[in-house]
Structures are given as C-alpha cells and as structure tokens.
Structure 1
Amino acid sequence: MTADRVNPVTRTPYGAVRGRWEQGVAVFRGIPYAAPPFGPRRFRPPTPPEPWDGVREAAAFGPTAPKPPYSEAFAQYLSDPAVPGDDCLNLNVWTPDPAPGARLPVLVWLHGGALTRGSSAVPVYDGRTFARDGVVFVSVNYRLGVEGYGLFPDAPANPGLRDQLAALHWVHESIGAFGGDPDRVTLGGQSAGAISTGALVAAPQARGLVRRAVLQSGPPETTDRDKVRRMVRRMANRLKVPATAEAFAAVDRDQLLRVQADIGRLGSPILGGPAFGIVTDGDLVPRDPLEALTDGAAPGVELLTGWTRDEYRLWLVPGGLVERVDRLGAVALAGAMARCRCGSEVPRGYRALRPDAGTAELVGQLVTDHLLRVPLHRLADGRRDPSYVYEFAWPSRRPGMGACHALELGFVFDSGDEPDARKLAGEGAPQDLADAMHGAWVRFVTDGSPGWERWDTHHPVQVYGDGDPHVEHGPRDRELALWTTPAPEAPAPATPPELRSVVRRLRRVGALRRD
C-alpha cells in the first residue's frame, strides 16, 4: 500500500489498483473479481479474472450487468444507472484505512432489483457513510435476469448466485489489504439482495465466509424450477430458438433484454407468474435455504432482518393501481387468495383486524405477509443464534407511497441527501431517523448487536417510524397467527375476468416485478 493521500494504491491477488481519497475515505471502484461472463463463459460459472501488470485505475464504477430499464412509472421512484461494458463482474470498496493490519469490520452488500435490475452504482448505496463510521464497505455487481438465473439443460443453475459467492471468496482473500478483517464479514442486501444473502448464508460452500447477515425485505427462499423454466421457454418461443444455453448465447444481448422485459411483465409479487429466481440445484443450493437455516445451517451467524410497514405500495401505487384494486373488491381478494394459496379464513381474519381498510390495503398486506413477514418470523423463530428484527414505518413524503418497499435504504445508508433517495422519500426526510437506523446497522456489523433486545418468544421488533425508535412486542402476531394452519395445496384458480384488466394494466406500466 502506498501512503499517497491523492491516489491510494492497494494490491489484490490479480494486480494493483489505484483508488481515490474522497471526503476522508479511500474509494476503489470497478475492481474485477471474475472474468467477463461473455463469449465462451456466457451462462457458465464465474472464473478468475486475468491478472494485470502495472496499476489499474479504480476511480469509476465498472460496467453493470445487462438489464432492461425501469418503466416510466417506476423510474419516477427508483434509479438504476447503466454502465456499458463486458467486465461486469466487479465490486467497489470504501475504506477508512486502506492498510494491511487495520482489521476493521466488513459489510458486503448485494443490491436489490428482482434479480433483473439494479447495480452497485445506484447512488443510494454510497458506502462512504459506513467507511466514515469505521466499516469497510464492499458492493457487488452480479449477473441478472436470464444471464444470471435462466434455467437450462446444458448449463449449471444459478450463475448469478455463483458470482456472488466468487465475490465473497475475493473478499476473504483480498479485503485485508484494504484494512478489513476477513473473519468479521457481514453479508447484507435488500429485496433480491436479501434473498441472495439468505441463500448464500445457508450454502455449504459459503461456510466460514460470513460472520453476520442482514436481510432487508427479503426471506431465504427458492423459486419453483417450473416457474423459471416457463420464463425461459416463453423467451425461447418469442426468439424462435431452442430453450438451451447454447442457443441463448447466440442471441444478440440487446434483443435478449427486450424479450426478457416483455415476458417479465407477466409476473408480479401480487399476482405471481413466471419469474427468474434462485433454484435448488443439488450443489450450491442443495435444499430450500429457509428450511436449511431453521434446521441448524450456518451455526454462529447472527441475523438482522425486517421489513417495511407498507411494502406493497411500491408494487401498486405507480400507475394508479391502488384505486383500481379497491374498486374490484372481492374479486381482488380472490386473486390474492389464489396468489397466497390460502383459505378464505385468512382474508376474513385480516378484515376483522382492519375493518376500515380498503381492498388494496388488505390485498397488499396479505401478499406482503405471505412473501415476507411469515417466512422472516419463521426464520427468527427457528434460529438458536441471535436474531434481531425491525419494522420500518416512516411514511414517504411522496403521495400514497407510505412506508413502501426500498424506502428504508436511504436511512440505512444515511444517504438521504442524494437526489435519488428523495425520488422515493420525498423532501424533508428526518436526519435523526437516518442517524438512528444507520447507527444500528453499524453496531450490528461491528459487534453483532444493533442496540435492542434479541428475538425471543415475546417477538421484540424495533420500530422505526415517526417519533423515537422503540421496541414493540409482537406487533404483527395477530395477523401472522392466521397463517398457522395453511390451506391444503391446490392448483391456483384461474384469474377472474375482472382481475385480468388489472393484470393488463400492470403489464403496461411494468409493475409486474418485485421491486
């Protein structure tokens, strides 16, 4: 390491990199942890990058994985920069002390985006604030969509998840040169990043690489293999090619993205449908991650997990869909029951608990609990190692958004001054709430305790909303108790005709995806 305050230079296993000092923090961007996943490496597991001679400049974000843009409706709320180039398996490091021997705690961050969008270049994920507070922060790019999560008969499953594992190995081997401690690594993410975190923590191949984990609005889960196959087959039919990795690798990348985006509008957190996701593969993901983690996998790994109060509002508010679902009434509730595979007693119970709620709120909370709160409760209940649970309840200043999916990110990262954070939060987000939430995450990464009581039979939940953060015991227990006797497995009923118009509207605005 060269002690140059203008251009810090650090050596990785593949060559030296030169970063920049920015506001007292050393930043290294776009460091390759694997070779470009194209040409003969397309749809294949990651391989090490080619070593380089001399010093590689690491001042700018590296290429992002191929992805379609957000629709206009969602682009009002979410930013997703795209950086062209093939060398998209790269990561970024923010560190307060880029010197071997500093042994600082490390946070490795996996971005969200439904495994089809997002990147480490999203401004809200600025790692400077974590480095400012003594944490080495690493953010990772990984393959997305069909490139990362397509299921083919002639290629291994889950290449995007394998990218993330390769990045974790890079951190274990390299982070000491940036001042980090490879034995104090916290792996974290939001939405799809949290789902990925859960899968990796449960994976036998990641044993010893992760000390703690943060799962924000995403449970450990796998996607039904048939659902992913349907997605691939529909793309293959549209492209008029076989549903094989060899055939897809011969398709122009931009054309593949266009078809993926079009077919992807058929799926939704609210209504289900074909989608890309992590699948069990008998190798990296040998079994369902939630079952594995509640059955004793990853002993010694501490968890911080939670959700936002109104997750569903990011899925329904863009495009004015809340009002349309409210008008559908019982038809929309029937669609939610089909999505959640629950009996009528569950929505009846929600209606009794929320007599003044509109249909969209009931549908949204039903699906949110089915997708997020029920499995995250089960995860916390089933772990012997300490778990800490939060709920983010501060409502956005943007009309109708409430405490929606992804809103907490600007507070966790203390990046509310970023224009991109204000796209979702609006103006006037409280700095004291960001101080409290960001501080709790720093404490958890540093010593394993965010500052409130660990999960037990009383179900303590730290609530971040208007006013001071505080613990409530079992704030969601009455709703979640309605799910303790699930309805028998049965084929989902056909979508009612009245609901199909909502489906068409969702497709047009691009709302049919997790975030």
Structure 2
Amino acid sequence: METIVNTTSGMIRGLELAGVVSFKGIPYAAPPFGKNRMYPPLPHSSWEGVRDCIDYGPTAPKGPYESPFDKILPEPAIAGEECLNLNVWTPGTEAKDLPVLVWIHGGSFLNGSGAVSTYDGTNFARDGVVCVTINYRLGADGFLFLDDGISNLGILDQLAALRWVQENIAFFGGDPHKVTIAGESAGAMSVGTLLSLDAAKGLFRGAIMQSGAAHHYLSAVTAKKVAGYLAEALAIEPVRDQFRAVEVDRLVKSTSDLASQPQAKPDLAKWGEITLNLMIFEPTVDATVIKAPPIESIRAGAGDDVAVLIGTNRQEFNFFSVPTGVYEAINSAVVAFGAMAFGLDADKLAVYQKLLADEPQGEVFSQMAGDWFFRIPAIRLAEARQDAKANTYLYEFQWQSQMFDGRLGACHALELPFVFDTLGVLSEGISLAFVKGPQELAEEMHSSWVAFIKNLDPGWDTYSTDDRTVRIFGGGSRIEKDPRGETREIWKGLR
C-alpha cells in the first residue's frame, strides 16, 4: 500500500509493507554536480506533485571494492546525480514523538551507501524507531583538501542530512529531539567527528560508534600531500577548478589507484600518518570545519551532553588479513616490525606473544593492529568522557564467523546484521552476513541498540576508569570488567 507524506521540499510517495512504511531516495540536498561539484551542499529545490520514493536513489560516485573484498562486501552502485539522498523506515506516519536512528555507512570514505541491504531499517521501525540511512560524498569529491577554505564536504553532507532530519522527521512520526546518530568503521569515525563539532550541537542526543572512534583524521599537511599526488596522477594542477573539470569516473579510478599505494609501498616520508592508517581520505583538521583533532575536542568537553555507545569486534583486523592471505604469510619478523611501527618495544610485544602463545603469528599481528586501529581509540574516547554530563557505554562483539575455515573470527563489520536484525536479508552477492549466525544473538544485540536509542541506556552499567564495564556479545554473552587489561595498559602514552 502506498503512503504520501509532505516534506519541506514537496510531497513524496512511500510504500507500506507488513506494518512498516519506507521512503527511499529522498533528496536532502541539491545534486553535487555541475556548478555545485566540490562545493558545500545546497538545499534541494522544491518539486511539484508527488515524487515517488519507492526505490533506493543514486549512490555517490565510487569504485568497486578491491579483490577479494568485492566478493564478501555488498556494494550496490546506482547511477544518477541526486546522490545526496536518504531513506526512512517508520512504523507509521500517523505516529508521533518516536525516537530516531540516523545511520552513517562505512567504507573507508571511498565506498558504501545507505542502500546496502544489511542496513534495511524495517526491524528498527518494527520496534518503534524511525530509521534513516544516508548517502554522503566519498573519495575526492567528499574529502579532498586543497587548503582553499573548502574542505570536509562529506562531513558537511552529513550535517546537511541531520538538519533535514530536524526539519522533516516529524512528518514520519519521529521526534527531532530524540535523534541518535550511529555508524560503523568510517561511519563511526564520522560519528566521532560530528560529536566533536560545534556545528553539530543540538542535532542529536545519542551517538553510537561501531569499530571507529575519534582518533581517525588527517592533518592538513598530509591531506594536502594526498591532493598533490592525485593531481600528479591526473596531470593537473592541485587547484579546485582543475579537479572539478576531471570527469567523475576518471577521478574515481585515479583515486582507487592512489588508495592502494600506501599499503603496497609504505613510505613514512611520503604518506605520514597514512602509512599506518592506510586511508588516503579521512576527515581533515582544516581549522574551519574541524578545528582540532576530534579526540582532543572531546577531551575538552565537546559532546559531553550526548550519550555514547561505543565498541569493537574481538578480531577486527582478521577482516583485512585473512581474505587476502596475509594472515598466513605473517611470521615473527613481520610481527616485530609491526610492533616497532606501532611504537611497541620488545617488552610490550612480549605481552601479546604471551597472551596468544597458542595462536599463529597472523593472529598476534591482527590483535596488535586491531588494538591500535580500533579498540584503544574506543577506550580512549570513553576515558575522555569520564566527567561528561551524559553516560558512556562500551561493548565488544565476540561471535565467531566460520568463513575462511573459521579464521575470520569476530572480524570487522561482522556485527552489522546482528545490530540491524537482518541476518535473514539476502545481500547483493556473497557477503559477511551470509553465514547464518544465531538469531537469538541478533535479537539480543538489536534490542540493546533499540533500548539505547529509546532511553539512552542499553541495559548495562556505564564505563568508568574505576571498573571498566564492557558488555560482551557472543561467545557466551556476559559482562566483563576490563577485558584484556594487560594489552590496554601497554598502549598508555602511545595511542
């Protein structure tokens, strides 16, 4: 059955199915092409009549995932210029004052979209939450830094989407005062960035970060180098007008080629902090949109009135090392080199080797890298909020995937279908979600997220430096105090 809603830009038509109404491909800003390309988002013009919002709208320009990740990650690509769009699932447009979830997708700031079937918001709506998934500009169009006063366009897109929610979500039964933003990986890094910004104040009351925090940013110096390398590859000058003149597909291809270089040819002098974090585009500390590193702003009190739920997966880095075959190739010499790169001396590395004495060296490296990249930043964000007005909760996901003969474990992104309660949803192609995980764990995790979105309390004690309470999902769900405290301790002063 069709449902029509009036928004600030015009009337839209959605579809009701099994008690949930969905509206897909709603534009929240003008198409970022033509005269608008590589400039901050502008309001979308109004339209006459009723606009069909039955199918997902265009996705932001992007390349495919590199092999072998193209075989395990769903990546719908939908052509069209109106890529700054969002999707809404609601229990009903006649409802009032419902809590709202706004989901920001991951993908290393190069990939992803709100149209991934794992992010289907039907079951959040079923449980009384208005769910919104958004697109934002990716790659050079979204995160190129030229030191010309215009930057972090992908973050500005996210802010524009959140302002659209403030102005329109009541038409869908949502309460603009009860918004929680959430994301995974680059989406969680975006949430950590938004939490730190004055410009985002008042746009949300809750923030959920899954496998990403507020340590993930580029300095202006490094980001400007990336722009120079990309300009060199394109045989242009590193100025905005010349980048804007490059055909979209050509820019995407050159960006993808450049993105593979830091891992293929590590060079600290060339890549700076990218040598370790391996992402050529991230939010940039530009002194205008992002005035300071997000974690520093949060330590100074930014977002202290926002409740936070943050966590990581037990074997995050296996996602990157197992499918590529790197996991098996890692030996003790590689582990020692990695430890040195992360700033760990021999005594600190010995802590990992002792705790993982029965595991292959690939697992030792994976745990060490996963801690540097994901787990320790999550803990640091929680520690930074010890005096915050609002609460902070920590979780860890430990359910073990049986993909790749069980070596994948509780890897990066594996928790997503559990959070959305979409284990039974068929993704495009083969995906991490195709392994039939326990539905009871999906219900457990999903209901905790719903509780946080509704009440800003997921159902366990807050995190403090006194007892370090962490909720474990999977592997015998339970509460633990300071899990793997030995490895947490060794990163003091390093991360």
User: Do these two structures clear the TM 0.5 threshold for a shared fold by scoring above it?
Assistant: yes
Pick from 341, 344, 350: which aligns with 2:343? 341
Q: Does 1:482 align with 2:490?
A: yes
Q: Does 1:449 align with 2:444?
A: no
For residue 412 of structure 1, what is the aligned residue in structure 2? 419
Give the secondary-structure state (helix, strand or coil) at the position aligned to 1:210: coil
Asked whether the equivalents of residues 67 and 145 of structure 1 are also in contact (C-alpha less than 8 Å), the reply is yes
Bigger shift: residues 230-239 or 188-197: 230-239
Q: Does 1:267 align with 2:246?
A: no
Q: For the residues of structure 1 that align with 2:294 and 2:276, how far apart are their CA atoms?
A: 23
Asked whether the equivalents of residues 339 and 345 of structure 2 are also in contact (C-alpha less than 8 Å), the reply is no
Counting matched residue pairs gives 477
Give the secondary-structure state (helix, strand or coil) at the position aligned to 1:433: helix
For residue 384 of structure 2, what is the aligned residue in structure 1? 382
Asked whether the equivalents of residues 270 and 364 of structure 1 are also in contact (C-alpha less than 8 Å), the reply is no
Q: Does 1:473 align with 2:476?
A: no
Q: Does 1:246 align with 2:271?
A: no
Q: How many angstroms does 1:446 deviate by?
A: 0.4
Q: How many angstroms does 1:56 deviate by?
A: 0.7
Q: How many angstroms does 1:270 deviate by?
A: 8.4
Asked whether the equivalents of residues 220 and 286 of structure 2 are also in contact (C-alpha less than 8 Å), the reply is no
Q: What do residues 466-504 of structure 1 show as CA deviations (whole Å, max 9, x unaligned)?
A: 33x2101100311010011439xxxxxxxxxxxxxxxxx
Bigger shift: residues 268-277 or 204-213: 268-277
- In structure 1, what residue type is equivalent to 2:474? G
Pick from 446, 450, 462: which aligns with 2:471? 462
Q: For the residues of structure 2 that align with 1:388 and 1:153, how far apart are their CA atoms?
A: 37
Q: Runs in 1 of length 4+ with deviation above 6 angstroms?
A: none
Bigger shift: residues 266-275 or 410-419: 266-275
Q: For the residues of structure 2 that align with 1:54 and 1:438, how far apart are their CA atoms?
A: 38
Q: Kindly report which structure 2 residues correspond to 1:206-285, keeping only aligned pairs within 5 A, or say none.
A: 206-221=200-215, 222-268=217-263, 271-273=276-278, 275-285=280-290
Q: For the residues of structure 1 that align with 2:211 and 2:485, how far apart are their CA atoms?
A: 18
Cα distance change, pair 364–208 in 1 and its aligned pair in 2 (3 A): same
Q: For the residues of structure 2 that align with 1:414 and 1:129, how far apart are their CA atoms?
A: 7
Pick from 302, 312, 328: which aligns with 1:307? 312
Q: What do residues 310-331 of structure 1 show as CA deviations (whole Å, max 9, x unaligned)?
A: 00011111221111113xx213
Q: Kindly report which structure 2 residues correspond to 1:139-154, keeping only aligned pairs within 5 A, or say none.
A: 139-154=133-148
Structure 1: segments with no counterpart, 5+ residues: 1-5, 488-515
For residue 334 of structure 2, what is the aligned residue in structure 1? 331
Q: For the residues of structure 2 that align with 1:224 and 1:472, how far apart are their CA atoms?
A: 36
Q: What do residues 207-241 of structure 1 show as CA deviations (whole Å, max 9, x unaligned)?
A: 11110000000011322333322322222111100
Q: For the residues of structure 2 that align with 1:273 and 1:54, how far apart are their CA atoms?
A: 47
| Percent identity (aligned) | 41
Pick from 187, 191, 194: which aligns with 1:197? 191
Query: Over aligned residues, Cα RMSD in angstroms?
Result: 1.7
Q: What do residues 238-277 of structure 1 show as CA deviations (whole Å, max 9, x unaligned)?
A: 1100112211111111111111111101235885456100
Cα distance change, pair 73–211 in 1 and its aligned pair in 2 (3 A): same
Q: How many angstroms does 1:359 deviate by?
A: 2.0
For residue 179 of structure 1, what is the aligned residue in structure 2? 173
For residue 113 of structure 1, what is the aligned residue in structure 2? 107
For residue 164 of structure 1, what is the aligned residue in structure 2? 158
Asked whether the equivalents of residues 194 and 217 of structure 1 are also in contact (C-alpha less than 8 Å), the reply is yes
Q: Kindly report which structure 2 residues correspond to 1:36-51, keeping only aligned pairs within 5 A, or say none.
A: 36-51=31-46
Q: Does 1:424 align with 2:419?
A: no
Pick from 366, 370, 373: which aligns with 1:371? 373
Q: How many angstroms does 1:344 deviate by?
A: 3.3
Give the secondary-structure state (helix, strand or coil) at the position aligned to 1:389: strand
Q: What do residues 140-170 of structure 1 show as CA deviations (whole Å, max 9, x unaligned)?
A: 0000011100111335110000000000000
Asked whether the equivalents of residues 227 and 274 of structure 1 are also in contact (C-alpha less than 8 Å), the reply is no
Give the secondary-structure state (helix, strand or coil) at the position aligned to 1:290: helix
Asked whether the equivalents of residues 25 and 53 of structure 2 are also in contact (C-alpha less than 8 Å), the reply is yes
Q: For the residues of structure 2 that align with 1:278 and 1:246, how far apart are their CA atoms?
A: 21
Asked whether the equivalents of residues 155 and 245 of structure 1 are also in contact (C-alpha less than 8 Å), the reply is no
Asked whether the equivalents of residues 423 and 436 of structure 2 are also in contact (C-alpha less than 8 Å), the reply is no
Q: For the residues of structure 2 that align with 1:43 and 1:11, how far apart are their CA atoms?
A: 30
Calculate the TM-score normalised by the size of structure 2.
0.93
Asked whether the equivalents of residues 333 and 359 of structure 1 are also in contact (C-alpha less than 8 Å), the reply is no
For residue 363 of structure 2, what is the aligned residue in structure 1? 361
Q: What do residues 426-464 of structure 1 show as CA deviations (whole Å, max 9, x unaligned)?
A: 433100000000000000000011111111221111111
Q: How many angstroms does 1:347 deviate by?
A: 1.5
Cα distance change, pair 154–270 in 1 and its aligned pair in 2 (3 A): closer
For residue 492 of structure 1, what is the aligned residue in structure 2? none
Cα distance change, pair 274–434 in 1 and its aligned pair in 2 (3 A): closer
Q: For the residues of structure 2 that align with 1:187 and 1:404, how far apart are their CA atoms?
A: 23
Bigger shift: residues 407-416 or 375-384: 375-384
Structure 2: segments with no counterpart, 5+ residues: 264-273
Q: For the residues of structure 2 that align with 1:142 and 1:423, how far apart are their CA atoms?
A: 23
Give the secondary-structure state (helix, strand or coil) at the position aligned to 2:401: coil
Cα distance change, pair 62–437 in 1 and its aligned pair in 2 (3 A): same
Bigger shift: residues 374-383 or 260-269: 260-269
Asked whether the equivalents of residues 149 and 288 of structure 2 are also in contact (C-alpha less than 8 Å), the reply is no
Give the secondary-structure state (helix, strand or coil) at the position aligned to 2:431: helix
Give the secondary-structure state (helix, strand or coil) at the position aligned to 2:284: coil
For residue 510 of structure 1, what is the aligned residue in structure 2? none
Asked whether the equivalents of residues 124 and 418 of structure 1 are also in contact (C-alpha less than 8 Å), the reply is yes
